[in-house]
Amino acid sequence: MTKSMLAITALCISTITPALAQSTAPSPSTTPTPPAVTQAPTTGTPVASGEFLQQQNPREWRASKLIGSSVQGPDNARIGDINDVVLDANGGINAVVLGVGGILGVGEKEVAVPFKSISVIPTASGDKIDKITVSYTKDQLANAPVYKWYAAAPVVDKRSDLRQ
């Protein structure tokens, strides 16, 4: 039994040794060049080859931190919460949907305001949101039109018309 174990071990070592002796570095002609890190032209966020973001910019905010945040009006009175963020086809933020009016979400309506109309004020450390303000008053938002979410037209099954 011991002799057969030694023979198997020797066989395994003899087959692995040539593989370990080979160079693991690829030849210079096949060595991939790592992407150069550059600065994004608009945000200053470091990117690799203009495709991959590498770090959050201090002037960028995560949507998950915006959604649910309280919004204050020009008089610092609470006027609602951010319910959602609407993106355009190019990835830019088109609007922020505010839930205004009502109590604890009951009776509130959704009003969309342009993203550029909100001011996000960070805490002293700069890593969290201290407050979000808009220049609209509570009355202006109460009188604003309700934001209507896109709903695709229902698909009509033409086959059902043929059976009649």
Q: Is 161 left (phi over 0), alpha (psi -120 to 50) or beta?
A: alpha
Q: What is the CA radius of gyration of the chain?
A: 30
Q: What percent of the chain has pLDDT over 70?
A: 64
What's the DSSP call for residue 151? Answer: -
Poorest-confidence range of 9-13, 34-38, 120-124? Answer: 34-38
- The candidate with the shortest Cα–Cα distance to 95, out of 108, 82, 81, is 82
Give the type of residue at 144. A
Q: What percent of the chain has pLDDT over 90?
A: 41
Residue 98: per-residue pLDDT: 96
Mean pLDDT of 107-134: 92
Residue 71: per-residue pLDDT: 96
Mean pLDDT of 111-117: 96
Residue 164: per-residue pLDDT: 54
| The CATH fold of domain 63-143 | SH3 type barrels. (2.30.30)
- pTM > 0.85: no
Q: What is the mean pLDDT of the chain?
A: 77
| Strand ranges in 40-128 using DSSP code E only, listed in sequence order | 46-48, 52-53, 70-72, 78-87, 93-100, 109-114, 118-122
Mean pLDDT of 112-133: 92
Stronger pLDDT, 36 or 61, i.e. the higher one: 61
pLDDT tens per residue across span 25-37:
444 544 444 444 4
